[in-house]
Structure 1
């Protein structure tokens, strides 16, 4: 086994919360932003993953149940876990570290490692090198970062987590002594920690003292690897990442422009440069982030989707549409001073090459829809999106062409009273009035207990040969102004037509027709 490589590990405590705070500055209005000093916690599956320093001071801890954390700190702000957000926000940290020391390896969001040998020679020692990296992170608002220097990544990470404001340097050859008093849970294997505790092995030094052959027989090669970590013999070297190419493009406008057409004309060259950079990497953009700022401090940020991939014209169209006020939003009052274009999602360019002998009906339809949308605006072409709900008209929403948007009523939620499959082949957006009666024109009604007064015998003068129901639909009983009670029926007339009828109060309505 090779000797461990000296490594410097930088750790940003509570990074998921820090990532949320940094992201909200761009995506959340100032009125709705969470104060950085407020007690905050990241929650997943009902348990606390990470909590802020103020939350810990109030009695909140990692692994705690959500209700216990809220009982200890009633004002605790709960935030959803988002690994993608954590990784995206950590990109700025990696870029800053690489400006000081080339060749950084991201271990996980909030944790980054570099080789110690080169920086130690340049800065005159391992401690000064680690201090220079901490100072660089402090310049981007991460004054609470910690640094550890030791033999191997595992020991350096443990040193970083144990460090204070100053870097913690573990001398060469002293890794085993440093790790010995740490609990076996530090290895990151909960099952192994429980197993070793049952054997009376609770410290890394005790685990490292076990004979290797016995560990191999009982815990296989995985246990041998963890035993080597506990003994300070981490042989894995730092593997620097390959920095991704800079694909983002920005356009500063001086003087600021107030007309959308002027901004769209000015951004055309930026869009061409943006797509050229992607093309050089063999990529195409399928999801685009556009940020627009004005000279009055206003900011608009939005992610645009594309059913295929963006070209220069579609990028310019998205910028123009974003300048148009959407329903419920206020228009810009200042001139546009800056436009940023950044790929949110990319794909291999080879998968989007046009066919040799024509592009097929789907591609032609896409081009036609895009041209109409370019002339009529973002909401000029709408497509249906499956939605949730109890009523058939609610289970379809309209979204702009090419937008991968989620429905306002999620389909995966339980919808008691909703109609199961198969659904009617034709749905009436506005339910149609209809006359339903029983034998001898008797009124068909349903009492409070759900019993039918008389079977339906006719529908608009046609005989009913088969029927099923009633199935109750009850909504919002807690709100007298919006409460709704109705009963569904399936009716088949003597002409072979099948209908979905609704009895609401004394009125009969047709909600849909089966083929």
Structure 2
């Protein structure tokens, strides 16, 4: 495609890639299509075809593997990453290695490649734009002058700019614990990137294969569609297996055994826990088609694939990501982006997660932590918790206590004595918003005396709880403090 023609590849209404001419006109990656067309009316729009991208890119990857680098990872078609220390020593330095990579790409009939070196994948991708070699340990300094928008988190960028943090270096200078507490998990990941740290180390192969899934074909399969269907089934199986083991993988190797040669073909893709089963199948489709176009699968009765295998690599513990709760249409990164957007609109405490811990009352045992914050007040459920409410637990716990009145048959308020006895028998209960009902039975009271040793701090609390059943079918958990009754929870 001529360089003078402004072209953009789009998916989901956003720009994934654009030509130099389009970039000069103001088009950028992740930009909405309508905005891009407003900036460049003559922009030619091309819908993304992931299968075609993988199929066209695979021959170049294989050429680079055979000519220059022994191991490569495909982040996406058009973007490769590889450990550079060993190859650089072999070829005589980073400069020579970069030249050999560019020459190999050019000889393959493609445009000139952009090559960069840095401590992290993110920084290396930026360095490749200008062909820069970032010395080891200088990655944070290299990233520091860039605007925070380069981190690819629009809502976080908007918030940081309002606070006057306009550069990556300004973000990196903040204490990590403060960033996590104030801005959440998404900002904590961006902060690590800004400091020149990698989320997971780049590695070629784990020493032990775990959670490998495979399909045997007898006879060998030569058609693309059955292979893609098998890949989708294997990817579903793999995702379920990793979720059951509470781990995620950083990379995914697709390997195939050939019938006519007995050899194997393989390709490694960056996964980071964000490739759905369908996305894996699309990559396998393009990969198998590329192998078929290159004649690697053979033909006739002796050709085809006898075994298809998916091997997860770089296994790490899953850290609270639950993609299954949102379906496969949202990646964990997108979920974090949505949560950060809601927090920016409604406040940091508007989006919370539930943590179960110790406590005496039902409201004490469930705590809501703002999304992205660390649980700094973790309490063991096992206790001991003297005065803890016994089972069964109430179905509804009110966010605020509801004022209530508990009286005897004569209308006298029920009190709890110092000996934890009811002075009179409860006969009627009135709760704000629920009306009045006749008391049929009760259990308790259960006293709670907490932090009595800190009266000056205002944390001391002396209360008693009472379970009450009424003739309207409701059962209540009541609490009395300073001679005032309130409804804390409702059973059933």
Task: Assess same fold via TM > 0.5.
Answer: no
TM-score range, shorter chain: 0.3 to 0.5
Provide the TM-score with structure 2 as the length reference: 0.41
